[in-house]
Structures are given as C-alpha cells and as structure tokens.
C-alpha cells in the first residue's frame, strides 16, 4: 500500500519527543567540557540511572516506552512497510536476548529492541487488518448492509453499517463500513436494511494539526459518511451474519441497554453525560449541553470516549 510522506504534524510530534531527551541529560554532558570528559560524564550518568531503575525494579515499565517508540517509527515511514521485516527483527532481538541472558546489560538492550520491533509490527499489522477502500467522491444511491451499531439521538439515530452493496460502486472500491444518520425509522443492531443514501468521503482536519476524522475513520474501517433519506426497509441478507459482526452486534446491544439505564436513573442531561462517559454513546446529549461542555473546556472528556462520532 502506497503511503504519502510523513505529514508536518507527524514530524513535529517526533521532534517534540526527541526534544525531551536533551532536557533529561546531565548538564555536564551538554556543557563546554572537552568531548572525552563529556562522554565519560554521560556514561557515568547513564550507568547510575540504569542502576537506580534496576534497584527500584522499574526496567519492565520501559518496555511500553520502547514499543511506543517503534509505533512512532512506523508512523514516520514514508511508505507502508512489509510485515516480515519488523517480525524478523523481533525474532532476532528476542533470540539474542535469550543467548545473552547471562549478560544483563546486553540482554536488556536486546529486549528493548525487541519491544520496539513489536510496536512497529503492531502498527503494520493493524493497518493491514483494517485497511478498506474509502469512497472517492460523493454519491447518492441505494445502499444495503448489516446494522453494526445504533446510537439514538434527539431526532433519529446514527448507524454504522457493514456494507453489502452500494449502487454504482464495484465491490473492489466499496467501503467496508459507512456511518449514516437517519431521521426516522426504527432499526436494531444485526438488521439487514436497504435505503437511499447520500454518501461523502470522510472529511480531513478542519485546520492543520486539528482533529482528523478521516484518520480515525480509516482505523475504524469507515470509508464513507452521510445520511439515509426516506424509508428504510428490512431486506433479506445475502449471507448469514459473520461471527465477528455478531459479536460486535451483541456488544452494541448491551451498550445501548446500559446507556438507557444510566440515562434514566441519572435523569436529564446529567444522566446523558454520565451514560456517555460509561458507554461512549453520546447521542442523548443535546447540542446545547455540548456547547456548555465546550465553553467549560471539558468537552474533550466526553469526546475521547468515542472520538469517531465527532
């Protein structure tokens, strides 16, 4: 899969992470002393820091850091890497760690490299696992699909459909999932429905460095957004519900029941916000309440529960 060069936002993030490191180094290592003395001071500081970490039994906590560094390297790549390369690095580093287990320092370095390779491989695998076509241009036409999730709103509901057909779109270019709004009608997770939809490609960030809905939609397998106008019909499915979709449908039904229960017990917009914080279903929060949360500077607490809805 071809990939565009790393965006300015990604490069800025990497520079920010790298910029933290010099601030953690001892001042003498970055001063005006001769190079040999600075290197020795840096070596002494590193040895003391590692000894302190080992004494406090914290080296294990650095494994997620190393894995996160590998993920950052994946996002900085200028094209989609092959999965075999980080897996080979992981196996090689893990094997060296076992072979050098009697030399703790060398083994620790190999384990750190293995964690970084694991993070890189996780990024490659996740992208390959959810990769699906994105709608290339706006379209209006008939759509059929399984209802994966339902979120009730003040007027209508918001659905995520696992698409089985879109009129005029060949199978190889058809999005795997679409997110649509409906103004009327009652559907439940697991239903196979048909209707006339107006679909758009997922939008990008409104400003440089802002929230990128298109990126989050991609990693959730959503290739188009829009609305269904008119009547929604239940139609026979072309195949049985896949087991993975059946699991997602069951989870969404449980989330909907829990959302309604919390909202009814809490009452009003307080109950709606409480339900959103627990289940991620924000449809019961009115736009006036959303504006109040934005004005108070705490809207991100609710939004981060399920950011793809924004």
Supply the pLDDT for residue 304: 59
Task: Say if residue 143's pLDDT is above 50.
Answer: yes
CA 153 remoteness from chain centre: 24
Q: Which residues pair with residue 143 across a beta bridge?
A: 166, 195
* Higher pLDDT among residues 254 and 31, named by residue: 254
Task: Say if residue 17's pLDDT is above 70.
Answer: no
Supply the pLDDT for residue 258: 92
Residue 5: both structure tokens together: 């060069």
- Using a pLDDT cut of 70, give the percent of the chain over it: 86
Task: Say if residue 11's pLDDT is above 80.
Answer: no
Supply the pLDDT for residue 33: 65
Supply the pLDDT for residue 23: 47
Q: How far apart are CA 158 and CA 282, in angstroms?
A: 10
> Dihedral, CA atoms, 71, 73, 76, 77, nearest 10 degrees?
-110
Task: Say if residue 25's pLDDT is above 60.
Answer: no
Rounded average pLDDT over 190-205: 90
Supply the pLDDT for residue 310: 40
Residue 120: both structure tokens together: 């890189």
Q: Which residues contact 39 (CB under 8 A, 6 or more apart)?
A: 29
Residue 99: both structure tokens together: 């072979």
* Higher pLDDT among residues 259 and 204, named by residue: 259
Task: Say if residue 21's pLDDT is above 70.
Answer: no
The shares of helix, strand and coil residues in the chain, as percent rounded to the nearest 5, are: 55, 15, 30
Rounded average pLDDT over 216-225: 86
Supply the pLDDT for residue 27: 54
* Number of Cβ within a 10 Å radius of residue 55: 8
Rounded average pLDDT over 143-165: 88
Beta strands per DSSP E along the chain: 139-152, 157-166, 177-182, 192-200, 222-234
Task: Say if residue 84's pLDDT is above 50.
Answer: yes
What is the per-residue pLDDT across 243-288, written as a single tens digit (0 to 9) for each?
988 999 999 999 989 998 998 998 888 888 888 888 888 888 888 8
Task: Say if residue 43's pLDDT is above 80.
Answer: no
Write down the residue that tokens 């979709």 correspond to.
Answer: 245
Rounded average pLDDT over 194-205: 89
Q: Is there a contact between 107 and 198 (Cβ–Cβ < 8 Å)? A: no
Task: Say if residue 307's pLDDT is above 50.
Answer: no
Supply the pLDDT for residue 90: 93
Half-sphere exposure of 83 (CA within 13 A, CB side): 9
Q: Which residues contact 198 (CB under 8 A, 6 or more apart)?
A: 138, 139, 140, 226, 227, 229
Task: Say if residue 145's pLDDT is above 90.
Answer: yes
* Higher pLDDT among residues 164 and 49, named by residue: 164
Q: Mean pLDDT, the chain, as a whole number?
A: 81
> What is the pLDDT confidence band of residue 152, given thresholds at 50, 70 and 90?
confident
């Amino acid at each position: 899969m071809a990939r565009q060069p790393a965006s300015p936002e990604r490069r800025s993030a990497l520079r920010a992470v790298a910029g933290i490191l010099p601030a953690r180094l001892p001042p003498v290592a970055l001063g005006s002393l001769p190079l040999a003395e600075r290197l020795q001071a840096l070596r002494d500081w590193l040895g003391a820091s590692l000894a302190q970490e080992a004494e406090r039994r914290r080296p294990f906590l650095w494994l997620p850091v190393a894995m996160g560094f590998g993920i950052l390297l994946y996002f900085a790549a200028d094209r989609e890497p092959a999965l075999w390369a980080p897996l080979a690095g992981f196996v090689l580093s893990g094997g060296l760690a076992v072979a050098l287990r009697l030399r703790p320092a060398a083994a620790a370095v190999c384990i750190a490299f293995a964690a970084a390779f694991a993070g890189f491989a996780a990024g490659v695998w996740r992208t390959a696992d959810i990769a699906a076509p994105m709608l290339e241009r706006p379209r209006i036409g008939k759509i059929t699909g399984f209802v994966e999730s339902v979120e009730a709103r003040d007027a209508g509901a918001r659905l995520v459909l696992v698409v089985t057909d879109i009129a005029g779109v060949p199978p190889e270019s058809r999005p795997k999932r679409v997110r649509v709004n409906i103004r009327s009608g009652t559907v439940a997770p697991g239903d196979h429905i048909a209707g006339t939809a107006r679909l758009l490609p997922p939008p990008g960030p409104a400003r440089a460095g802002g929230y990128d809905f298109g990126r989050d939609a991609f990693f959730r397998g959503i290739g188009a957004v829009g609305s269904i106008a008119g009547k929604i019909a239940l139609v026979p499915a072309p195949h049985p519900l896949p087991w993975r979709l059946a699991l997602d449908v069951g989870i969404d039904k449980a989330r909907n029941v829990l959302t309604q229960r919390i909202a009814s017990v809490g009452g009003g917009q307080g109950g709606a916000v409480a339900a959103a914080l627990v289940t991620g279903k924000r449809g019961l929060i009115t736009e006036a309440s959303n504006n109040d949360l934005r004005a108070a500077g705490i809207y991100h607490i609710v939004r981060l529960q399920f950011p793809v809805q924004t």
